[in-house]
Structure 1
Amino acid sequence: MEFISRQRMFFVGSAPLSGEGHVNLSPKGYDAFRILSSGEVAYLDLTGSGNETSAHLQENGRITVMFCAFEGPPNILRLYGRGEVVLPGTEAWSELAPLFEELPGTRQIIRIRVDQVQTSCGFGVPLYRYERDRETLVKWWEAKGPVALQAYWREKNRTTLDGLPTPLGKKLQEEDALKVP
């Protein structure tokens, strides 16, 4: 837990059940990762150009989170588990959202039940020095605003590269159906 709390970056891996589907690997930054208990973690998922992880979790639940020591002694730590997507407006959202700083472009929270933890040496991971978080993503969403965010979700985050529906996409579809006279 101490090692995780010192890391400023982590990677998330997921994949669809189909052997033809794309494996997804996403780097994550900001102060967006929380340890909920010894067997449960969560991260704040910000809007990006894709929404692969959420659809993979909806389909099969499998997820891996990896932390690498880029400073200090070498280490790689992987959390293997089953994840779920927590969307705004749900009871789970009300429980988890206060644990995170509210950031523009927040899309969902990914909650993971960890079933295995593995470490490896990390001897081949280079040393890097942390400067600061990039401000680009937050500034971009601040400039766009909530209406543009919703439009972006409708255009880019409803399905995966492989055409799998995302939980956010299903929610948007339900909202759109309510608007039709």
Structure 2
Amino acid sequence: MAKQFDAISDDHRGFIETQHMFFCGSAAADGRVNISPKGMDSLRIIGPNRIIWRNLTGSGNETAGHLARLNRMTLMWCGFETRPMIMRAYGTAKTLHPRDSGFKEAETHFPPTLGARQFYDMTVEMLQTSCGYAVPFFDYAGERDVLAKWNEDKGQTGIETYWDTRNRTTIDGMPTYIVKDTPNA
């Protein structure tokens, strides 16, 4: 049976912090719904109703484009290894690009890394837990180093060029505001 909560408790926090990955769901009023798997030590619980997560450079930039049009987000964790639970955080979020106030403060919660494209600052309005009885067991084998090597090979200038050429719009053509010539620059 699903249970809803108006804040992240210590027990919820403990479950989230033991997960090696989470999923982010976002959608604008039109276009495609996006669900992305995330990992690489990229999420922090800042308070009982606040989560920030670091979005590293990747092939798509759907979440930024969706939030620019409709600032709702869902995060989901699944207990793959031990505890059979599914947890979802529902709320609103704002995108913080490297040029935005708040980006530098968000960076202080994470170890330095090349390729941080955005941070998402989420206000959690509701947390829901449900059984994860049908979620299979998976063993964690470790982090992949492919993205870190890709970022190192590109360097900061190459990454910014990639943002400009590959991350300016969503697959539905919505602007992501990753480059400086945007309204919030």
TM-score by length of 2: 0.89
Cα distance in 1, alignment partners of residues 130 and 40 from structure 2: 24
Match of 1:130 in 2: 140
Alignment RMSD (CA, Å)? 1.0
Query: Counterpart of 2:178 in 1: which secondary structure?
Result: helix
Cα distance in 2, alignment partners of residues 5 and 133 from structure 1: 15
User: Which aligned pairs between 1:70-81 and structure 2 lie closer than 5 A?
Assistant: 70-81=80-91
Cα deviation code 1:18-61 (max 9, x no counterpart): 1xx11101000111100010000010000111100011111110
Task: Look up the equivalent residue of 1:94 and give its one-letter code.
Answer: K
Q: CA deviation at 1:146?
A: 1.2
Match of 1:28 in 2: 38
**Larger RCO, structures 1/2 (Cα 8 Å, 6+ apart):** 2
Cα deviation code 1:80-105 (max 9, x no counterpart): 00011011133211221110112221
Q: CA deviation at 1:147?
A: 1.6
1:151 is the counterpart of 2:158: no
Equivalent of residue 16 in structure 1, options 22, 28, 37: 28
Structure 1: gaps spanning 5 or more residues: 175-181
Cα distance in 2, alignment partners of residues 30 and 24 from structure 1: 19
Task: Look up the equivalent residue of 1:87 and give its one-letter code.
Answer: H
Query: Counterpart of 1:167 in 2: which secondary structure?
Result: coil
Equivalent of residue 139 in structure 1, options 149, 153, 156: 149
Structure 2: gaps spanning 5 or more residues: 1-12
Match of 2:6 in 1: none
% identical equivalent positions: 43
Cα distance in 1, alignment partners of residues 14 and 24 from structure 2: 19
**Where is the helix percentage greater, Structure 1 or Structure 2?**
1
Q: CA deviation at 1:125?
A: 0.8
Cα distance in 2, alignment partners of residues 58 and 101 from structure 1: 27
- Following TM superposition, the consecutive aligned residue runs of length 4 or more in structure 1 with deviations greater than 3 angstroms are none
Aligned residues: 170
Match of 2:100 in 1: 90
Cα distance in 2, alignment partners of residues 120 and 83 from structure 1: 23
Match of 1:61 in 2: 71
Cα distance in 1, alignment partners of residues 177 and 161 from structure 2: 16
Cα distance in 2, alignment partners of residues 104 and 96 from structure 1: 15
Q: CA deviation at 1:64?
A: 0.3
Match of 1:113 in 2: 123
TM-score by length of 1: 0.91
